[in-house]
Structure 1
Amino acid sequence: MSSITITMINISIASLLAVGLTPLFVWWERRISGLMQDRTGPNRCNIGPLRLGGLIQSFADMLKLIFKEDFTPSHIKYKFFFSIAPAIVFFCSFLTFATIPFADVLIIDGESHIMSAIPNELGIMWFLAFAGLSIYGIILGGYASQNKYGLLGSIRASAQVISYEVALTLAVVSMVISYGSIHLTDIVNAQAGTFLGVIPMWGIFIQPLAAIIFIVCAFAETNRAPFDIAEGESEIVAGYHTEYSAMRFGLFQVGEYAAMSASSAIIVTLFFGGYQIPWLDTQTIHSNINYVIAAIMILLPIKIFIFTKWMKKNNKTVGMGDKRREKETKILTIAFWSICLIILGLLAIFLITGLGTNGINIVTAILQIGTFLVKFFLVAFLYIWVRWTVLRFRYDQLQMLGWKVLIPLALLNVILTATFIVVGS
């Protein structure tokens, strides 16, 4: 397996998580909000018998944005800035994903490969740089719109980012002091193992205060509720993107979900062990690969069985003309079990014939990527859960939380961490 192939795989994973999952997240957000508000959510749009629980609606909305008229209001003077603003938000949010490691260093034929889209030594500094730059797109969009609501939204966004980036950076300083490295792979590997024999060495257990500060600030960085004062529909129409339409508006929305994805990934990397499987570091997996494969072969059919039963229960026929749901359930059940059987067959072949050194390393990397994805989706779910649970902060409350609460706590945490490291050494 060449370096180019592995690089392309890493870029594909990063692109999928940062951008490709946007329709899924839109659908997920609608379904979760519907569940919390005791309603169904989107479930009617279909392609033949397939509705996929309403997921087709997200793709329909995406196509609608692509084919809508891209209208530029006549009163706008700075058309170049107006056009480039959503692209800045999109690309900066996308590039924050570039250094996230999806698995431990992969060794193929004695050659080491860092499992991130752009392998470099900047690590967490890369994330902070591009996360901060994305605000320029919001400021340009609001200013170039020559709309009072757009300008108010951009001013709010800039004030919010200035307030919360200080505390977020100080939380990162605490983590860098604790781990002794800015390289994200080193940070994740430092979270392997346990203390007290049971508790994983995750950042959230080592630095709980830094974790809370960072997560709160990450919510503010993504401009999502309860920190969405830059959009504030009930106050300033839609804020910085009031004058935007079609795919320029769509780029702002994709940029928001890309920022949410990047924040979820960095939270997992810093505080939840990244790609590390609890109680199973890379060397342990290598030494017990046959037992790990056997466990997967047992657990996978059980999970598929539980999921298909849940799907049948929640996709029952309701009323006249809804036989398509039953047909869809049968199609999806056959598809899931077919995939399950293929995977079980491949795993059985691996157990019988053996994997070899390269095979063990590749299987370990696949398991770690899967572990990272599970944690990633759980944190993304937390983002959606909070958005539909917590009310928006008032502007003065938001500033008070940033300057009077989070920054002093972050400074205190840096001092305590540095003192502990110096005394301990």
Structure 2
Amino acid sequence: MSTAAIVIIIVNILLAKILSVGTTPIMVWWERRVAGFIQDRTGPNRCDIGGIRLGGLIQAIADMLKLVFKEDFTPSHIKEKFLYTIAPALVFICSFLTMAVIPFADNLVIDGESFMMQAIPTQLGIMWFLAFAGLSVFGIILGGYSSQNKYGLLGGIRASAQVISYEAAMGLSIISVLLTYGSINLNDMVQAQGGTFFGIIPSWGIFMQPLAALIFIVTAFAETNRTPFDIAEGESEIVAGYHTEYSAMRFGLFQVGEYAAMSASSAIIVTLFLGGYHIPWMDTATIQNNINYVILAIVILLPIKAYLFAKWMSKNYDWLDPKDKRNKEKNILIRGFWLIAIIISAVLIMFLVTGLGENGVNIATAVIQIGTFVVKFLLMNLVFIWIRWTLLRFRYDQLQMLGWKVLIPLSILNIVITATFIVVTGS
């Protein structure tokens, strides 16, 4: 195996790990800040290390450390200890593996050799996602069953009913997508979204299959067990449901698994319906042919971003007294961000002056596409967070009615419409 192949494999695995699990502290912090904004309050901003708070991010890190060092207590009444132990790990592992087939960029060509930009370079694509997305719910069911607690059992039963209802609609919505793209390979699906309609509208899945996109996004919310589909852990009804008897890091794995599932769902939604790694109106060939202009645009945009960030930071610290020591933290963060922006801009300008070469152009294109994917991925995660703190939890009967009486019939109707269109047009 060549050195380039080893490096690319490591990069893909690290990307999958960072986006699925490594972003959990940031997502927790982000969720609390968004919740505070929606509820007209500050959110976490007091916890610090040596006076450095990072806008409240230290609170999420403190919570993580607390879970790691708490006593891992197993109640004496639990008999199925093996199932009780593996349940949170099953949720975590399945959610993590779901991210493994997401293409972060187009195939990267180095010295004539093509490499898939996926953690696991398999052709299974969407089938892999469906398999592990469905399997992760078994961790919740096993956790509720093995706890031998009536609230835990109720949470597990609710989770099993929910997954049956919504995976059926999810699978049916994907059939329309498969008919449209003609492939189960996720990279093929993204490449099919690189063009435009009438030279203006990007040919993204959300425009080609709007109904399938809506159904899939709703069912993805249900798969992550987040509000408004969190009846499996409805605190106001069943204490905490399936994880009532869990403590310390086993409880923490359930929480990390939830955020990993949210990240995986965001990634697959971006891949299927939001153009994946494509910049709007620019496919891979277009970026490669205009790489200098793309780099120049990034160099221009970076200082603007740094300025907006510095302005936002200053606004959030306006309430402090000018002599307050926390102003020092603000200055450190602003200068650090400006320094990063200047260094990146200097490197990009050097590339513009010296040239990149064929391999350099391919690598630069891959980096730009990875950055594009990450931006879309974060914005989709923001939608998940926004919905959680906006909508109320569905009642059990409402949840089942939405799944069986609305989403499944709409999915079947969409299959009929899509198939009819393909047969009539021959496309």
Superposed pair shares fold, TM > 0.5: yes
Alpha-carbon shift at residue 371 of structure 1 (Å): 0.4
**What does 1:287-366 correspond to in 2, within 5 Å?**
287-318=289-320, 323-366=324-367
Distance in 2 between residues matched to 1:32 and 1:422, nearest whole Å:
46
Give the CA RMSD over aligned residues: 1.0
After TM superposition, the structure 1 = structure 2 runs for residues 264-283 of structure 1, keeping only pairs within 5 Å, are 264-283=266-285
Aligned partner of 1:363: which letter?
A: A
Equivalents in 1 of 2:368, 2:326: separation in Å? 33
Give aligned pairs, total. 424
| Conserved 8 A contact 2:320-2:327 | no
SS of residue paired to 1:112: strand
Q: Which moved more, 1:323-332 or 1:152-161?
A: 323-332
Give CA-to-partner distance per residue, 1:49-108, whole Å, 9 cap, x none.
Answer: 311110000000000000000000011011111111000000001100010000000000
Which runs of 5 or more residues in structure 2 are unaligned? none
Measured against aligned partners, the alpha-carbon deviations of 1:342-378 in whole angstroms (never above 9, x if no partner) come to 1111111111110000000000001000100110011
CA distance in 2, matches of 1:91, 1:77: 24
Quick check: 1:143–1:154 contact (8 Å CA) kept in 2?
A: yes
Q: Which residue in the other structure is 1:395 paired with?
A: 396
Look up the match of 1:374. 375
Identity of aligned pairs, percent?
71
CA distance in 1, matches of 2:353, 2:321: 51
Please tell me the residue identity of whatever aligns with 2:336: A
> Does the CA contact (< 8 Å) of 1:193 and 1:279 recur in 2?
yes
What residue is the counterpart of 1:233 in the other structure? Answer: 235
CA drift at 1:317: 4.3
Please tell me whether the aligned partners of residues 173 and 415 of structure 2 are also in contact (alpha carbons under 8 angstroms): yes
What one-letter code is carried by the residue in structure 2 that aligns with 1:21? T
What letter is aligned with 2:369? Q
Letter of the 2:132 partner, please give it: F
After TM superposition, the score normalised by the length of structure 1 is 0.99
Please tell me whether the aligned partners of residues 191 and 203 of structure 1 are also in contact (alpha carbons under 8 angstroms).
yes
Q: Tell me, which stretches of 5 or more residues in structure 1 are unaligned? A: none
Instruction: Say which SS state the counterpart of residue 96 (structure 1) adopts.
Output: helix
Aligned partner (choices 174, 181, 185) of residue 172 of structure 1: 174
Q: Which amino acid aligns with 2:404?
A: W
Is the Cα contact below 8 Å between 1:102 and 1:368 reproduced in 2?
A: yes
Amino acid at match of 2:361: I
Q: Deviations over 1:362-421 (max 9, x none)?
A: 000010001001100111000000000000000000000000000000000011101111
Q: Which runs of 4+ in 1 moved over 3 A?
A: none
- How many angstroms apart in 1 are the aligned matches of 2:238 and 2:412? 34
Indicate if the aligned counterparts of 1:99 and 1:118 stay in contact, CA closer than 8 A.
yes
Q: Which residue of 2 aligns with 1:146?
A: 148
Kindly provide the CA deviation profile for residues 107-161 of structure 1, in whole angstroms up to 9, marking residues without a partner as x: 0010001001000010000000000001111111001000000000000000000
Give, in whole Å, the separation in 1 of the partners of 2:318 and 2:49.
Answer: 18
| Partner amino acid, structure 1, of 2:414 | N
Superposed, 1:19-418 pairs within 5 Å as: 19-318=21-320, 323-418=324-419
**Structure-2-length-normalised TM-score:** 0.98
CA distance in 1, matches of 2:351, 2:421: 47
* AA matched with 1:368: Q
Whole-angstrom distance in 1 between the partners of 2:63 and 2:137: 26
Bigger Cα displacement from structure 2, 45-54 vs 153-162: 45-54
Note the alpha carbon deviations across 1:174-232, whole angstroms, 9 max, x for none. Answer: 00100000000000000011102110000000000000000000000000000000000
Which whole-Å CA distance do the structure 1 matches of 2:345 and 2:387 have between them?
Answer: 38
> Per-residue CA shift, 1:32-58, capped at 9, x if unaligned?
111111111110011123111100000
- 1-structure distance, mates of 2:37, 2:338: 28
